[in-house]
Structure formats: structure tokens, C-alpha cells
Amino acid sequence: MSTYENNAYFWQKIDTFFLSGNLKVLRKKGETHPKFSNMIYPVDYGRLVDISGTNPEGVSVYLGSNSRNTITAVIVAADILEKSLDVKLVAGCTEEEENAVLHFLNQTDYQKTVLVRRGNDIPAWSVTDN
């Protein structure tokens, strides 16, 4: 098996969450993090407040300068301080903005992240026979 298997059906589900969710923009590009003043948001940041995740306040969304109606990637964060795994959505970010978000999220030794870019593959294992 390859290192990463994409699945178009997964992205359909993510689109459904995103397009039907209640997005609240909490920080604008250039604003400082409320707890860590050395961290500056590289793009707008918000939360889908009606979608559950590890954070009871909703699922994080990083909003880039391209079409914000398209989820282009997900970020998985491992945080040893919070003892949590968290998924964050990336909407409308250019590759440069994605890299800036990764840099922003990987600034400490306590949290590290990976980015999974959207794909259109439909692997055989993802198709169910009904």
C-alpha cells in the first residue's frame, strides 16, 4: 500500500460538513493568537461551530485568498501538551498560504502537524456493493 491513499468520497463528506456548517471567523490574517502573542495568523481563521471535533467549540478552518467555498486540504495535529489529535480544515489556500499555516501550527515542540491535500481518486476499497 502506498504511504497515502486519497478518496474522493471522503472529500464529499468534508464538503458537506463545510458547506452546510455554521462558520464563524474568529481571527483575521495578521492578528495575534489570544494566548501566544508571538504567533501571528497567516490567513483568516474560524471554526465550524456546529460540527463536533476534539474541541467543543467546533472544527478549526484556515481561510485563504482563493475561493473559500472549497476545502483544499485537511491538517492533522498531534499535541502532546493537550494530549489530543485534531483535524483542521483548509479552505481556498494557495500552496504558499498552506505552507504559512503549517509553519504557524508547527512553531512549538508540543504540537506537530501534517497536511493532506485533496485528491479525486476513488480507490477500489472505498466502493461498497449494495
Listed in sequence order, the residues at least 6 apart from 88 whose beta carbon sits closer than 8 Å to its beta carbon are: 59, 60, 61, 62, 74, 75, 76, 77, 105, 113
Q: What is the pTM of this model?
A: 0.88
**Domains of the chain, first to last:** 8-118 (3.90.80.10)
- Distance of alpha carbon 15 from alpha carbon 11, whole angstroms: 6
**Each residue of 74-99: pLDDT tens digit?**
999 999 998 999 999 999 999 999 99
